[in-house]
Amino acid sequence: MVFDFTEKEKGIQPRTIWCLGRNYAKHAKELGNVVEPCPLVFQKGLNALAPVNGIQRLFRDHGAVHYETEIVIMLDRNNEGPFIAGIGLGLDLTLRDLQSELKSAGKPWTLAKSFDGAALVSRFIPSNEIPDLDQIRFTMMLNQVVSQRGDSSQMILPLEKIPAYLEEYTDLQPGDIIFTGTPEGVGVLNPDDEVSLDLAGHHMGTVRFS
Ligand code: ZN
């Protein structure tokens, strides 16, 4: 797995990939979901991890694949507990047709969210290089057209509170990563699409789907 990690993060592999859902009110509404004070939480397996870089194969046999552009945080911990060490961007790829089927049948979404290559992650910027974690703007360009814009100030559970929220249930480990939810504007990916991600003026990565 090749990530453009900073020197400090090199060699650290995540043990878990946590994901928040419905952490932006407008996105929850665009999918017809109720907005609640706490986001929902799910995981993707490490099999799903791939870089926002080069060419990735697009799943074709199970209906629509949606992109969800999200701030991804990489954790470290000290005596006081987990903290945000790195800030990146990711694409939470979702088999939306399958997810809708599973949801309406009351079944878990795992296959819709954790297929190989479903967790695309960019390089990470050390969090101390970001002036205010609760005001991070990001942009996703699909074939050079802006398709999603987000700002961490719009999160229902603020970015800096997310590690403590999960820590109530688990001892988060250095290298663990968390997808923090998508703003509105999710959509379908097609073969030959190119996605480019930008966080606070930093180019984070470009990926093309085959
Ligand atoms: Zn998501």
Q: pLDDT digit string (tens) for 69-119?
A: 999 999 999 999 999 999 999 999 999 999 999 999 999 999 999 999 999
CATH number at residue 48: 3.90.850.10
Give the total number of structural domains in the chain. 1
Q: Which pair of structure tokens corresponds to residue 200?
A: 């606070």
Please give all residues whose CB falls under 5 A of ion ligand 1, grouped by chain where several chains appear.
68, 92, 182
DSSP state of 162: H
E strands in the chain: 17-21, 40-44, 49-51, 54-56, 65-67, 69-78, 81-92, 94-95, 119-121, 125-126, 137-142, 145-151, 177-179, 187-188, 194-199, 202-209
Asked if the structure places residue 24 within a domain, the reply is yes
On the question of pLDDT at 167 being above 60, the answer is: yes
Percent of the chain with pLDDT over 90: 83
Separation in Å, CA 145 to CA 6, 50, 81, 135, 179:
29, 23, 40, 23, 23
Domain of residue 105, residue span: 17-209
Task: Find the 61 Cα to ligand 1 centroid distance in Å.
Answer: 21
Task: Find the 180 Cα to ligand 1 centroid distance in Å.
Answer: 7
Task: Find the 63 Cα to ligand 1 centroid distance in Å.
Answer: 18
Asked if the structure places residue 7 within a domain, the reply is no
